[in-house]
Amino acid sequence: MKIYNTLTKRKEDFIPLEEGKVKMYVCGPTVYNFIHIGNARPMIVFDTVRRYLEYKGYDVNYVSNFTDVDDKIIKKANEEGVSAQEISERYIAECKKDMEMMNVKPATTHPKATQEIPGMIDMIQSLIDKGYAYEVNGTVYFRTRKFAPYGKLSHKNLDDLRSGNRSLLVSGEDEKEDPLDFVLWKPKKEGEPAWPSPWGDGRPGWHIECSEMSKKYLGEQIDIHAGGEDLVFPHHENEIAQSEACNGKEFAKYWMHNAFLNIDNRKMSKSLGNFFTVREISEKYDLQVLRFFMLNAHYRSPLNFSAELMQSSKSALDRIVTAADNLKHLIEGAKAEGMSESELAHYEASEEYVKKFEEAMDDDFNTADAISAIFELVKYLNTHTGAENSREYLEKCLERLKTLCDILGLVIEKKEELLDADVEALIAERQQARKEKNFARADEIRAELLKKGIVLEDTREGVKWKRA
């Protein structure tokens, strides 16, 4: 299996630190609002990487954090007149709902930054003791120039950063020894959450959070560190500097980064009015369609989101779901007998598509080619199965199709059809729950309907619904 390593800029054979085990850290979202479809790409991509590693027999310890203390969270809390914790807990819960609808498996551990602050303080103190960090008026900075390999991930030169490109500098306050030094601990400001530390009350810088959470839950060295390509610099570069300066060991062997997501060939931004949350997309499509769309391109290729591409993803996914459904119908009517010799030969021949799938995934997780292999298998199964086949053969064919789709996190069971009257009854129950301010139950009903292919739209005229 080969992985493209951002650190070396080439594909490398994957050799884990410990045989049969993989330690993997993926930077999670900052939780101040509903996650957007840009957040969804690394969630889906690296969940698929994890699933494939597990399929290959690895025991994967998968850690993905929630950044639950941040300027944006504090700003939202102040706007609403509630605590930062209330904002972060609310949107962690919403994020988990979206992840479930996208069929993203829960991480082995989902640490929250605010619960790991004592460890961060210890790590910062260790960096001070080793001469890699210094404190000025309650702020602790990392001495970037003291860490000789700084820039090895982003392939940036420190002197180039220092001279020409001011936009790449990490905010240059006068009190720093060097404008490139970055913050490990910041002092408390009025109206902000703070924790006691040897340098006064305050809170950690963003970069130290991931270094500490990775160390606590995975150890000083990990196999794979992953995230969006926007994190390469400065976030991941700074993580390497802190972790390696503190621990004296290589931090991560393989660095994986997914490319950006554009909307109708333009960068997603609120100012352009092309900013979509996962929840908004779920009102138009089953989120399995979003997952299929995301995987239909290589994770290192830029991805363009559009209504047309989502519609074609829906049609393509429907072809796989229909093939699985046809096999289920054939199984129901099939004779309960073992495979014949010709059936065994056909089944063995279909192994070719499994090999193609594995070859694609072994080549830096090429999900686009893996999906092509699934379509070849679908075509083969449509041609080589029928009412005359034995139950054992049909069940094995369906199992083979399901196994490959499950690695990609694609659910191919047809959603149970609800009668119109049942839908109306659940909508009425949801309306009642909202009147009683039981928003948890109202959300449950919406999610339950979505799982069964019913999309709700709240309008001024009332609730409208349609089948996805």
Banded model confidence at residue 159, pLDDT cuts 50, 70, 90? confident
pLDDT at 66: 97
Average pLDDT over residues 216-237: 97
Residues 345 and 425 in one domain: no
User: Which tens digit of pLDDT belongs to each residue from 109-153?
Assistant: 999 999 999 999 999 999 999 999 999 999 999 999 999 999 999
Same domain, 424 and 387: no
Domain end, chosen from 218, 242, 258, is at 258
| Ordered strands of the 21-26 beta sheet | 59-64, 21-26, 222-228, 252-258
Kindly state whether residues 72 and 133 are assigned to the same domain. yes
- 3-state DSSP call for residue 410? coil
CA distance 465 to 435: 19
Percent of the chain with pLDDT strictly greater than 90 = 81
Q: What's the whole-number mean pLDDT along residues 298-313?
A: 95
- Domain with 380 in it: what CATH number? 1.20.120.640
> Does 290 map to a domain?
no
Pair 380, 458 in one domain: no
Pairing of strands 59-64, 133-136: unpaired
Identify the domain containing residue 176 by its residue range: 18-258
Q: Let me know if residue 94 belongs to a domain.
A: yes
Same domain, 131 and 24: yes
Of residues 437 and 250, more confidence is placed in: 250
Whether the pLDDT of residue 270 is over 80: the answer is no
Instruction: Give the C-alpha separation, 349 to 317, whole Å.
Output: 24
pLDDT at 272: 79
pLDDT at 130: 98
Q: Is 431 helix (H, G, I), strand (E, B) or coil?
A: helix
Which of 258, 292, 327 delimits the end of a domain?
258
Domain assignment of residue 415, yes or no: no
Question: 36: domain CATH number?
Answer: 3.40.50.620
Three-class SS state of 61: strand
What are 167-209's pLDDT values in tens digits? 444 554 568 999 999 999 999 999 899 999 999 999 999 999 9
Residue type, 86: E
Does 59 map to a domain? yes
250 in the same domain as 331: no
Domain-located, residue 326:
yes
Q: Residue 364 pLDDT more than 50?
A: yes
How open is the CA angle 22-206-245, to the nearest 5 degrees? 65
Whether residue 276 is contained in a domain is answered as no
Clarify whether residues 109 and 187 are in a common domain: yes
Q: What per-residue confidence (pLDDT) applies to 124? A: 98
- 119 is a domain residue: yes
Decide which of 301 and 453 is more confident.
301
Cβ proximity of 107 and 100 under 8 Å: no
Residue 165 has pLDDT above 60, yes or no: no
Q: Are residues 389 and 450 in the same domain?
A: no
Instruction: In whole angstroms, give the CA distance from residue 183 to residue 157.
Output: 20
* Structural domains of the chain, count: 3
Could you tell me if residue 113 is inside a domain? yes
The pLDDT mean for the chain works out to 93
Same domain? 116 vs 216: yes
**Domain identity same for 248 and 145:** yes
| pLDDT tens sequence across 63-108 | 999 999 999 999 999 999 999 999 999 999 999 999 999 999 999 9
Mean pLDDT of 330-357: 96
pLDDT for residue 255 is more than 60: yes
Amino acid 447: pLDDT:
85
For residue 182, count other CB atoms closer than 10 A to its CB: 24
Indicate the DSSP class of residue 363.
B
Percent with pLDDT over 70 in the chain: 96
Per-residue pLDDT, 166: 46
Distance between start and end Cα atoms, the chain: 37
> Among residues 386, 407, 428, which one ends one of the domains?
407
User: Do 426 and 354 sit in the same domain of this protein?
Assistant: no
Same domain, 388 and 450: no
pLDDT band at 416 (very low <50, low <70, confident <90, very high): low
